[in-house]
Amino acid sequence: MKKIGILLILFTLSLNISKLKAEDGYRLWLRYDLISNAQKLQEYRRSIQAWLIEGDSPTLSVAKNELQNGINGLLGQPISNVKTIQKDGIVVAATLGKSALLTQLNLNSRLEKLNLEGFLILNTTINQKKVIVIAGKEDIGVLYGVFHFLKLLQTHQNIEKLNIESSPKVKLRILNHWDNLDRTVERGYAGFSIWDWHKLPDYLDPRYTDYARANASIGINGTVLTNVNANALVLTPAYLEKVAALADLFRPYGIKVYLTARFSAPIEIGGLKTADPLDPQVQTWWKNKINEIYQYVPDFGGFVVKANSEGQPGPQNYQRSHADGANMLADALAPHNGVVMWRAFVYDNNVPDDRAKQAYNEFKPLDGTFRSNVLIQVKNGPIDFQPREPFHPLFGAMPKTPLMMEFQITQEYLGQATNLVYLATMWKECLESDTYAKGQGSTVAKVIDGTLHEYSMTSMAGVANIGNERNWTGHPFGQANWYAFGRLAWNHELTAAQIAEDWIRMTFSNDNNIIKTLQNMMLNSHETVVKHSTPLGLHHIMGAGHHYGPGPWVSRMSRADWTSVYYHRADSMGVGFNRTSSGSDALSQYFPEVQAKFGTLENCPEAFLLWFHHVNWDYKMKSGQTLWAALCHQYYQGVEEVRQMQKSWDALETKIDETRFAQVKALLKIQEKEAIWWRNSCVLYFQTFSKQAIPKGLEQPEKSLEYYQKLSFPYAPGIRPQW
């Protein structure tokens, strides 16, 4: 009896231990588990015998903690902290110019080449002892350098001949949370907001610290806490106190806090009768409000503003321009070094002939009229974060106004949190697009990093996919998109493949088979979702409101440019939106070389065909197939590729921890179902126009078009309550 009891206790204990070890995804890419490769472990233990961080500041103490936890975990033994260099194998981290040890090394000329947040990592000797030096230009550079160094260990790199210089290419690398004060998250698929407003400022959820660590580890240096569909209440003292608590916590990690400004706040919380930006009372109200914010948060970053778009108030309500509105806020922020990120995602109440043209039409004429602390925040494409869009025509078109990038990390139109879609390939496609603004090679990336037009301010923002789910992003592979966004904002020259490899090594394993399999899945995954949802340049054909799943039939909404039929324009002749000169002429907003590329059926890459052209069902594609057949094949191929992903994943069963294996397996099953749902709905729907059979050899849809049209999802996550 006794024995059985003991056995039982042991059994429950071991169960608990294995539960503790379960990979629930909380640790993201900062897992710091013991290095499994014995040779690497030995090599690292030899090279890292102690550490020393010179200097003292909140940022350096964060760096110390991270370095200590990181190397202790990875090396599997406590590594001591020393005060002097008396033996080989010491990691020395310090801020250049503030450190006696680093002065000896004479690194100043190299330092001059770095940006403020940059760092160096190198092997060298100090007092004839072998050391690894991590040197930051400022304290934050030390922290970034520490994370980089830990990444080298996590990804099993050689650390004997290090000579790394790294500087961010873009200054403000920002997450935009579309989080509401009631903790719902617009287009959020990972639970509720991580900001527990009700318990702030007194209760600081430990998750905030881990959020800051994760962001600092990839160089993100700003966070916009609130939804661009803004609530003025966040600007009131009760909330500013809470904002201040978060800002205090994030400061050592180099992260500034920003808020969204509701343009009508002077009326809603200020008691004024107007929010006209040229009204002196309004101007004074904002000045005072902004001064007040800086009392709470002395290094407040500034505002993001969505104005005169989708019902949000803005300067146009008073017949003023976007520049009038942005400049008013900019003037009040300028004495504090704050910035305004004014969004170009605008469309007013008059439905235009082509929504794709509106931002350009409204903003291009304003070039040169914005204050120097205003950035115009432009989505990657001219419509709205679709699975594939051509780059936005504003890039390259406003040489006198800093344009910043807005990517969407949350997968509103890309399978939300049920599809495995790695977004870095899509972002790279946009960044590498040539605008031809100053001849060949004028890429979007060069617009964004300021090199093309010598912008003094540069920025990249990503709409966050983070929520309060244990694994932060809902889908475990959603983490890769948060990760990739930060890495690309720091250095857009990295390839999607490199970033994926780093992420896999840190998040899953350094096993070659795992790396190759997952990398392959990730790199193809964007193309896959495009195929099974919006192939060949189709766009905006999703379900209304929730945007979850297909809705090519959506035709009745309060405005035409919210419907699907407005965008695909299918009829008995063909399908697609003619944006050439015989159609909406949106193409003319691009530089001539780009017009030539997209302008004719022969030249236009098939991936963008239906974006720019209305094409006959019988048009012969490059493959020799008709458009109708090609469209069907794309949809079917998309589903096949999801099945391929399932097979690849299943082959890793013995190599991946149970929890994440099971979760991703289940999600891939959902993805397969959703891909079939997209495929069947779209093929059946477009068939009502093409009047042609689904090509032979392709499985026939099981259900009818009516079945798909009747599906409804009133409680799909992320939906805007008022829509």
Judged by CB under 6 A, which of 167, 229, 361, 520 binds ligand GCW? Answer: 229
Q: Which is nearer to ligand GCW, 386 or 471 (CB)?
A: 386
Rounded least distance, CB 719 to ligand GCW, Å: 9
The answer to whether 412 is a known catalytic residue is yes
Of 173, 256, 262, 306, the one binding ligand GCW (CB under 6 A) is 306
Closer residue to ligand GCW (CB): 380 or 626: 380
- Applying CB under 6 A, which of residues 228, 328, 452, 460 lies at the interface with ligand GCW? 228
Closest CA to 721 of 268, 150, 269, 188: 188
Indicate the SS3 state at residue 162: coil
Taking CB under 6 A as the rule, which mask of x and - marks residues 367-386 in contact with ligand GCW? Answer: -----------------xx-
**Residue 434 interacts with ligand GCW (CB under 6 A): yes or no:** no
- Reported as type and span, the H/E element at residue 47 is helix 38-47
The closest of 202, 208, 286 to 252, measured between CA atoms, is 208
Out of 384, 429, 501, 527, which one is annotated catalytic?
384
What is the rounded distance in angstroms from the CA atom of residue 424 to the CA atom of residue 410?
A: 13
186 binds ligand GCW (CB under 6 A): yes
Q: Which of these is catalytic: 88, 165, 248, 310?
A: 310
365-583-633 Cα angle (round to 5): 120
296 close to 241: Cβ distance less than 8 angstroms: yes
- The CB density around residue 497, as the number of other CB atoms within 10 Å, is 15
CB of 350: closest distance to ligand GCW in angstroms? 18
Among the listed residues 51, 149, 345, 608, the single contact to ligand GCW using CB under 6 A: 345
Degrees (nearest 5) of the Cα angle 464, 527, 670?
70
CB of 402 to ligand GCW, least distance (A): 20
Structural contact between residues 63 and 146, judged by C-beta atoms closer than 8 angstroms: yes
CB 422 within 8 Å of CB 523: yes
Q: Which of 287, 453, 569, 720 binds ligand GCW (CB under 6 A)?
A: 720
Nearest distance, CB of residue 541 and ligand GCW, angstroms: 14
Phi, psi of 53 (to 5 degrees): -115, 115
Please give the residue whose beta carbon sits closest to ligand GCW in the complex: 384
Minimum CB distance to ligand GCW smaller for 350 or for 572: 350
Question: Smallest distance from the beta carbon of 446 to ligand GCW, in angstroms?
Answer: 25
Residue 4, token pair as written in the block: 């059985």
Of 139, 324, 412, 469, catalytic: 412
Instruction: Indicate the residue type of 538.
Output: L
Q: Is 449 in the site for ligand GCW (CB under 6 A)?
A: no
Is 310 one of the catalytic residues? Answer: yes
Number of residues that bind ligand GCW (CB under 6 A): 10
Tokens of 343: 């969004």
In this complex, which beta carbon is closest to ligand GCW, that of residue 182 or of residue 571?
182
Instruction: Tally Cβ neighbours within 10 Å of residue 127.
Output: 10
Q: Under rule CB under 6 A, which residues in 123-182 are in contact with ligand GCW? A: 178
Minimum CB distance to ligand GCW smaller for 111 or for 228: 228
Amino acid 534 reads T
DSSP state string for 651-707: TTTTTS-HHHHHHHHHHHHHHHHHHHHHHHHHHHHHHHHH--PPPTTSPPPSS-HHH
- Give me the active site residues, please: 310, 384, 412
The site for ligand GCW (CB under 6 A) is made up of 178, 186-187, 228-229, 306, 345, 384-385, 720
